[in-house]
Structures are given as structure tokens and as C-alpha cells.
Amino acid sequence: MLKVAVIYGGMSTEHDVSLISGKNVIDNLDKSKYEIYEIKITKDGKWLDKRDREIKDIYKLLKEMDVVFPVLHGLYGEDGTIQGMLELAKVPYVGCKVLASSVCMDKVYTKIIFEKAKIPQAKYIYLKDENTYVDDNFDEIKLENDEIIKLVEEKIGFPVFIKPSNSGSSVGVNKASDGPELIKYISEAFMYDRKVLIEEAIVGKEVECAVLGNKEAQASTVGEILSAEEFYSYDAKYTNKESKTLIPAELSDEKIEEIRKLAIKAFKTVDGSELSRVDFFVQEGTGKVYINEINTMPGFTEISMYPKLWENAGISYTELLTKLIELSNI
């Protein structure tokens, strides 16, 4: 039997979601094929075994594993840090490698790469601190609050979304309809990161597509988010029972195929491997597709879109996990 270490928890704002994802992965792994080792990372960075005893030599333990499945969301787990450690330990692991993991965790730099690849996306600007705007030439310009409001009005137009560049599960994300809200939410976003993205609000359907594989990556059908709130916030995702998902999305076959192709292009553009969930908007009225972001370790909770999309394609949760572990050894 292969020894598989499942790592979950972590020090990010998505710790609690990772706990649920990790437990679901453990419960659904094929016990006839794998000997499972649970590793929980606490919010303050302690590594614990399944009995909550601290692991003194984590590097040694990992070296004994055949495969590691880091079911970690957000910083210190989905951002290339643990992937780098596993590369040094020469242990196969599930998920994207260091480059894709680090780039996709940072929304600003993902946008820069998508821009180069000519993948359609919402208009945006970004700030390096509450009053430093970074222009198209990467020059840093100090601005007062009223100048930031004017810049947003001219380059994007209200309403806009304000997002920490390195945060997941919509933590710290808000929608601003005017200048005062903009300044308020910029300050809030800087509580989570040192870079903040200000982005055009696209009115329309929010949809997601799952990618699986390496060189011959495949895309699932497209799922639609039916948020119970104005946008798909953390609460709308995980606590509001009125939020729902629709698989497949209420889109034409041609539109679904367009999104699937864009998902694979985005995955390859960031040098992705094994799995990702790629999120899009389909604009109301025009039907134009805009990429939102790419998640290199999507959720594996009971309500998460990634496993549900593959289940729709006839791949059970357990079969999906087996495929991911097999891909990690290629």
C-alpha cells in the first residue's frame, strides 16, 4: 500500500475551510490502496498528528511518504511554500508545482500573466499601500484619497470590487459603489495583504470550470454559482444555506465549450499541473466571458464545485482522489 500523507489546516485565513476539505479527502480516499497519515497544521504553525501530538521531525516523516496531498488553501500552503519544501524533500505531491502555486495565489500577478496571454478579464488597477498606485509601467505613484477615487472613476468606473491580492475564499473582498466605500474597503483589504486589487464589477453569471491532468489536461463542464448574497462572499460560500450551485450552468453548449477552452488555456499559461478550478464571469447582455481567477488547490468540502463538477462527468469523489494521486507520480 502506498503511504499517503494528507496535510490540512494551515496558517491562512482559510484554515477552517481546509480542515473540512482535509477531513473529506481522508474520508473518501480508497482505504484498500492507501495507508493514510493525517497531518494538521495549526493556525500558529504547529504540525500535529491525528492524535494532536506535535510532530518533532516533519521533514523525516515526509521523506517516509510515497505521496503527500497538501489540502491547504491560501497562504503558507497554496502559494508554493509547502510545494517548495516537498520538492526539496523529493516527495511526490498532489497539485500544481511551485511556480503555478505562487503566481496563482497572487491575484495581481495572475492578471498580469493573463493580460500577456490575451485572456479576457475585467479592468483593474492595484495599490501597494493605501496611497501608492502602481501604473502600467510599474512606476509607484503616491496619491491622496480623492485622487484614488478619481483614478478609479476614470480607469474603471463604479461599482468595483476591492480584493487583497493574496487571499482566498473571498476573505477581505468587498464591493464599493462610491468613493467613501472605496476608501473604507481599501483600508480593510490592507489588513490581509500588502497589495490590493481594485477591479471592475462584471454583472452576469459567475461560473467555474474544473481542470484535471498534466500535458493532456481535460476540462469539466461548467458549473454556475447561485449566490444568496450580492456577490459570492465567504459567508455566501460557507454559511448561507441559500447559496446553490447549478451543474451544468444555464448556458449554450457553444458558450460552455468556449469557457472550457479558456480554462485549459489559463491552466497552461500559468504552467499548471494536475488540478485547478478556473473561475469566470459571463457578462449579462453581451455574453462575453471574462476570467476571474484560478485556484490551484480548490475546495474539497461537500459543497465544493471541483469534485461536484467531476462527479457530474461520472467520476466519483474517491475515483477523483485516486486519479490525482496517480497524476502526482507522472
Provide the pLDDT for residue 126: 95
CB-based burial, 84-99: b 16+ in 10 Å, e otherwise = ebbeebebebbbbbbe
What amino acid is encoded at 124 in this protein?
Y
Residue 13: the pLDDT is: 87
pLDDT in tens, the chain (330 residues): 999 999 999 999 899 999 999 999 999 999 999 999 999 999 999 999 999 999 999 999 999 999 999 999 998 999 999 999 999 999 999 999 999 999 999 999 999 999 999 999 999 999 998 899 999 999 999 999 999 999 999 999 999 999 999 876 577 899 999 999 999 999 999 998 899 999 999 999 999 999 999 989 999 999 999 976 565 555 545 554 667 899 999 999 999 999 999 999 999 999 999 999 999 999 999 999 999 999 999 999 888 999 999 999 999 999 999 999 999 975
**Residue 130 confidence (pLDDT):** 82
* CA atoms of 282 and 207, how far apart (whole Å): 7
Domains delineated in the chain: 2-94 (3.40.50.20), 104-119+203-327 (3.30.470.20), 124-200 (3.30.1490.20)
Residues forming beta bridges with residue 219, ordered by sequence position = 211
- What is the CB-side half-sphere exposure of residue 240 using CA atoms within 13 A? 17
Per-residue pLDDT at 234: 54
CB 148 within 8 A of CB 186: yes
Burial label for 113, CB within 10 Å (0-12, 13-18, 19+), is middle
Rg, C-alpha atoms of the chain:
20
Distances (CA, A) of 249 to 120, 123, 288: 20, 25, 15
Q: Which of 157, 187, 311 is nearest to 248 (CA)?
A: 311
Which pLDDT score is estimated for 329? 73
